[in-house]
Amino acid sequence: MERLGLGIAWTALIIVILFLLLPILVVIPVSFTEATVFRFPPEGFSLQWYQKIRNVDGLLGALWLSAQIAALATGLSLLLGTLCAIALVRGAVPGAAAITTFMVSPLMLPGLVLGIAFLQAMREVGLRDAWWSLLLAHVVITMPFVMRTVLGSLAMFDFAMVDAARTLGCSYPVALWRVLVPNILPGFVSGALFAFIASFDNYPVSMFLVDVRTKTLPIQLLNYLEISPDPTLAAVSTGLIGLTVLVLILCDRLVGLRRMASI
């Protein structure tokens, strides 16, 4: 009976992993095909679809825009979120629990509701610039990830260590830099990673804020998928998957991957 339970659990895990990886791995062989369709098994081997990435209208531009927005939004969230987290942990703010819930609440909202609310508000105040609307909205999307992880690491940090460093002769800023920062770095890295991914992949909020010239990568990809689906898309996807794996390995080296489960 015990064996049976364990057997079921392991079978389930193997099925889950194969099932999860199937749609991701399948795009890789398709991206090297010689044919112009997605037929499986792929025919021949060529890099033509990778060369065609450059020619796809607006794809590189969209990639650049998404990277820009994701990086800036993550940076702004880290700044605002960390200040807020420090205040909540150290400042004896009245209603700290309610404020914390408020700061992480965008995470619980359906993405489309958020997007529609922005769209309407931006029209109401006359902000028609897609770039700025995207940036502002994406700060809201990324804030909860930063708040959760930074708050988590700050709550576990013993501030007496900063005082200890100061008695040992460090100035206050130096003590913060050499004691506080290394201690909350894992929270920073995993928060920033999740924030970046949440912004970079966002579709439901962005779809209401883009315009003809300013399109983020997910929007552009979906457009392309609907208009002219060919293996170029598989090539782009393979590139994105490779990039993700690289970033994950990097984060694993920095803070350890399993700490991220607890975001």
Partner 1 sequence: MSATAIEAPALPAPRRRMDPLGLLALPGIAFLFVVFLLPLALLLWSSIRGGEGFTLAGYWRVLGDEYYRGVILASLQLGLVTTSGALLLGYPAAFALARARGGWQVLLFALVFLPLTVSIIVKSFGWGIVLRRDGILNWLMLNLGLIERPVRMIFTEGALYAGMINVFLPFMVLPIYSVVRMMDPRLPDAAATLGASPWFRFTRVTLPLSLPGVVAGVSLVFSLAVAAYVTPSLLMGDRYMTMSMVMAKAFLNLRDWQLGAAMAAVLLAVAAFVVVGASLLQRRLGGGR
One-letter amino acid for residue 119 of the chain:
L
Task: Fill in the per-residue mask, 139 to 158: x = in contact with partner 1 (CB under 8 A), - = not in contact.
Answer: xx--x----x--xx--x---
48-56, 67-75, 137-145, 163-171 -> range binding partner 1 (CB under 8 A): 137-145
Q: How many whole angstroms separate alpha carbon 210 and alpha carbon 212? A: 7
Interacting residues with partner 1 between 46 and 75 (CB under 8 A): none
Tokens (6 digits) for 255: 């803070």
Least distance between partner 1 and beta carbon 156 (Å): 9
Q: Which of 199, 221, 232, 235 binds partner 1 (CB under 8 A)?
A: 221
Nearer to partner 1, 160 or 169 (CB): 160
Tokens (6 digits) for 179: 């004691």
Strand residues in the chain grouped as ranges (E): none
Residue 10 near partner 1 by CB under 8 A: yes
Residue 111 near partner 1 by CB under 8 A: yes
Residue 162 near partner 1 by CB under 8 A: no
Q: How many whole angstroms separate alpha carbon 228 and alpha carbon 37? A: 11
Sign, Cα dihedral of 251, 82, 62, 229:
positive
End-to-end C-alpha distance for the chain, whole angstroms: 35
Q: Which of 41, 169, 173, 182 binds partner 1 (CB under 8 A)?
A: 41
